[in-house]
Amino acid sequence: MKVTYSYLEETLTDFSGCQFVSLDTKTDVKLRGGKSNPLQGRVTKISKGNNVMIFKSGVGYLNMVNRRLKKENKPEFTPGPRVWGARVGDTPIIEHKGKKYLECIFLKAGETTYYLDGKPIPKSQIEEFLPKASNGDQGGLEDKVVIRSFGFDSIIKITKSKEVLEPFAK
Protein backbone atom coordinates (compact mmCIF):
# COMPACT_ATOMS: atom_id res chain seq x y z
CA MET A 1 0.00 0.00 0.00
CA LYS A 2 1.40 3.42 -0.97
CA VAL A 3 1.52 5.69 2.08
CA THR A 4 2.65 9.16 3.07
CA TYR A 5 5.56 9.67 5.46
CA SER A 6 3.13 10.90 8.13
CA TYR A 7 1.08 7.68 7.84
CA LEU A 8 4.31 5.68 7.96
CA GLU A 9 5.35 7.50 11.14
CA GLU A 10 1.94 6.86 12.71
CA THR A 11 2.07 3.15 11.83
CA LEU A 12 5.64 2.73 13.10
CA THR A 13 4.68 4.09 16.50
CA ASP A 14 1.46 2.07 16.88
CA PHE A 15 2.73 -0.86 18.96
CA SER A 16 3.84 -1.62 22.49
CA GLY A 17 7.19 -3.06 23.54
CA CYS A 18 8.99 -4.10 20.39
CA GLN A 19 7.97 -4.82 16.83
CA PHE A 20 9.63 -6.99 14.19
CA VAL A 21 9.57 -5.54 10.70
CA SER A 22 11.14 -6.22 7.32
CA LEU A 23 12.79 -3.30 5.50
CA ASP A 24 13.75 -2.66 1.90
CA THR A 25 16.01 0.38 1.57
CA LYS A 26 17.89 2.38 -1.02
CA THR A 27 20.85 4.33 0.35
CA ASP A 28 23.72 6.37 -1.02
CA VAL A 29 26.99 4.69 -0.07
CA LYS A 30 29.56 6.96 1.55
CA LEU A 31 32.98 5.74 0.51
CA ARG A 32 36.37 6.21 2.10
CA GLY A 33 38.71 8.65 0.42
CA GLY A 34 36.45 11.69 0.58
CA LYS A 35 36.04 13.92 -2.44
CA SER A 36 39.22 12.58 -4.01
CA ASN A 37 37.57 9.16 -4.48
CA PRO A 38 36.27 9.20 -8.10
CA LEU A 39 33.41 6.85 -7.13
CA GLN A 40 32.12 9.15 -4.36
CA GLY A 41 28.46 10.07 -4.89
CA ARG A 42 28.02 7.50 -7.66
CA VAL A 43 27.36 4.34 -5.62
CA THR A 44 23.98 3.31 -4.21
CA LYS A 45 22.88 0.21 -2.36
CA ILE A 46 19.50 -1.51 -2.42
CA SER A 47 18.83 -3.97 0.38
CA LYS A 48 15.69 -6.11 0.35
CA GLY A 49 14.27 -8.18 3.18
CA ASN A 50 16.34 -6.88 6.10
CA ASN A 51 14.83 -8.20 9.35
CA VAL A 52 14.93 -5.62 12.12
CA MET A 53 13.41 -4.93 15.53
CA ILE A 54 12.12 -1.52 16.56
CA PHE A 55 11.62 -0.28 20.12
CA LYS A 56 9.64 2.64 21.45
CA SER A 57 12.20 4.14 23.80
CA GLY A 58 15.65 2.77 23.13
CA VAL A 59 15.45 0.74 26.35
CA GLY A 60 15.16 -2.40 24.22
CA TYR A 61 18.70 -1.82 22.97
CA LEU A 62 20.01 -1.50 26.54
CA ASN A 63 18.15 -4.64 27.63
CA MET A 64 19.43 -6.65 24.68
CA VAL A 65 23.05 -5.58 25.26
CA ASN A 66 22.81 -6.38 28.99
CA ARG A 67 21.25 -9.82 28.36
CA ARG A 68 24.15 -10.65 26.04
CA LEU A 69 26.70 -9.29 28.52
CA LYS A 70 25.19 -11.48 31.23
CA LYS A 71 25.62 -14.55 28.97
CA GLU A 72 29.27 -13.55 28.52
CA ASN A 73 29.67 -13.09 32.32
CA LYS A 74 30.45 -9.38 31.96
CA PRO A 75 29.17 -6.41 34.03
CA GLU A 76 26.09 -4.41 32.99
CA PHE A 77 26.39 -1.65 30.44
CA THR A 78 25.16 1.95 30.61
CA PRO A 79 25.09 3.67 27.23
CA GLY A 80 26.22 7.25 26.80
CA PRO A 81 24.04 10.01 25.35
CA ARG A 82 23.01 9.93 21.69
CA VAL A 83 25.82 11.05 19.41
CA TRP A 84 23.46 12.65 16.88
CA GLY A 85 19.75 13.41 16.58
CA ALA A 86 16.96 13.38 19.13
CA ARG A 87 14.37 10.69 19.77
CA VAL A 88 10.83 11.81 18.91
CA GLY A 89 8.92 11.15 22.13
CA ASP A 90 8.55 7.49 23.04
CA THR A 91 9.04 6.20 19.48
CA PRO A 92 11.68 4.47 17.34
CA ILE A 93 11.94 7.69 15.30
CA ILE A 94 14.97 9.96 15.45
CA GLU A 95 14.96 13.52 14.13
CA HIS A 96 18.14 15.22 12.97
CA LYS A 97 18.46 18.47 11.03
CA GLY A 98 14.81 18.34 9.96
CA LYS A 99 15.03 14.76 8.68
CA LYS A 100 13.39 11.69 10.27
CA TYR A 101 15.05 8.31 10.73
CA LEU A 102 13.83 4.90 11.85
CA GLU A 103 16.14 3.52 14.53
CA CYS A 104 16.24 -0.26 14.62
CA ILE A 105 18.22 -3.24 15.81
CA PHE A 106 19.49 -5.20 12.85
CA LEU A 107 18.68 -8.91 13.19
CA LYS A 108 19.33 -10.40 9.76
CA ALA A 109 20.53 -8.81 6.54
CA GLY A 110 18.53 -9.38 3.41
CA GLU A 111 19.82 -9.35 -0.18
CA THR A 112 21.99 -6.37 -1.08
CA THR A 113 22.88 -5.10 -4.54
CA TYR A 114 25.34 -2.28 -5.20
CA TYR A 115 24.96 0.10 -8.14
CA LEU A 116 27.48 2.37 -9.84
CA ASP A 117 25.81 5.10 -11.86
CA GLY A 118 22.59 3.07 -11.73
CA LYS A 119 24.13 -0.17 -13.04
CA PRO A 120 24.58 -3.25 -10.80
CA ILE A 121 28.16 -4.01 -9.74
CA PRO A 122 29.73 -6.71 -7.56
CA LYS A 123 30.52 -5.58 -4.00
CA SER A 124 34.13 -6.62 -4.60
CA GLN A 125 34.46 -3.70 -7.05
CA ILE A 126 34.03 -1.17 -4.20
CA GLU A 127 34.81 -3.20 -1.07
CA GLU A 128 38.16 -1.50 -0.44
CA PHE A 129 36.36 1.86 -0.24
CA LEU A 130 33.54 0.82 2.11
CA PRO A 131 33.74 2.33 5.61
CA LYS A 132 34.41 0.05 8.56
CA ALA A 133 31.22 -0.53 10.58
CA SER A 134 31.34 0.43 14.24
CA ASN A 135 28.82 -0.53 16.89
CA GLY A 136 30.67 1.02 19.80
CA ASP A 137 32.19 -0.79 22.76
CA GLN A 138 28.91 -2.03 24.31
CA GLY A 139 30.67 -2.86 27.56
CA GLY A 140 33.12 -5.22 25.86
CA LEU A 141 30.34 -7.30 24.34
CA GLU A 142 31.60 -9.82 21.79
CA ASP A 143 28.20 -10.56 20.18
CA LYS A 144 27.40 -6.92 19.34
CA VAL A 145 23.87 -5.56 19.05
CA VAL A 146 23.84 -3.86 15.64
CA ILE A 147 21.80 -0.68 15.67
CA ARG A 148 21.06 1.25 12.48
CA SER A 149 19.02 4.32 11.58
CA PHE A 150 17.41 4.61 8.16
CA GLY A 151 16.20 7.94 6.79
CA PHE A 152 12.51 7.82 5.91
CA ASP A 153 13.48 8.91 2.40
CA SER A 154 15.65 5.78 2.00
CA ILE A 155 12.87 3.34 2.92
CA ILE A 156 11.41 1.65 -0.15
CA LYS A 157 9.13 -0.78 1.68
CA ILE A 158 8.28 -1.88 5.21
CA THR A 159 6.40 -5.04 6.08
CA LYS A 160 4.87 -4.82 9.56
CA SER A 161 2.37 -7.37 10.84
CA LYS A 162 1.86 -8.61 7.26
CA GLU A 163 0.96 -5.07 6.12
CA VAL A 164 3.16 -3.79 3.30
CA LEU A 165 3.86 -0.06 3.40
CA GLU A 166 5.55 1.79 0.56
CA PRO A 167 6.23 5.43 1.41
CA PHE A 168 6.12 7.92 -1.40
CA ALA A 169 5.51 11.43 -0.07
CA LYS A 170 6.34 13.58 2.94
Whether 39 and 116 have beta carbons less than 8 Å apart is answered as: yes
Secondary structure string (H, E, C) spanning 95-115? EECCEEEEEEEEEECCEEEEE
Total of domains in the chain: 1
Amino acid 145: pLDDT: 80
Q: Categorise residue 17: left if φ over 0, alpha if ψ from -120 to 50, beta otherwise.
A: left
Secondary structure string (H, E, C) spanning the chain? CEEEHHHHHHHHCCCCCEEEEEEEEEEECCCCCHHHCCCCCCEEEEEEEEEEEEECCCHHHHHHHHHHHHHCCCCCCCCCCCCCCEECCCCCEEEECCEEEEEEEEEECCEEEEEECCEEECHHHCHHHCCCCCCCCHHHCCCCCEEEEEEHHHEEEEEECCEEEEEEEC
Amino acid 31: pLDDT: 92
Per run of 10 residues, the mean pLDDT along the chain (length 170 residues) is 82 84 93 90 95 85 85 84 88 93 91 96 92 66 80 92 76
pTM of this structure: 0.84
In which domain, by residue range, is 76 found? 2-169
Give residue-wise pLDDT tens across range 26-42: 999 999 888 899 999 99
Q: What is the average pLDDT score of the chain?
A: 87
The Cα 7–Cα 115 span in angstroms is: 30
Amino acid 120: pLDDT: 97
Give residue-wise pLDDT tens across range 106-118: 899 999 999 999 9
Amino acid 103: pLDDT: 92
Looking at residue 162, its amino acid is K
Amino acid 60: pLDDT: 79
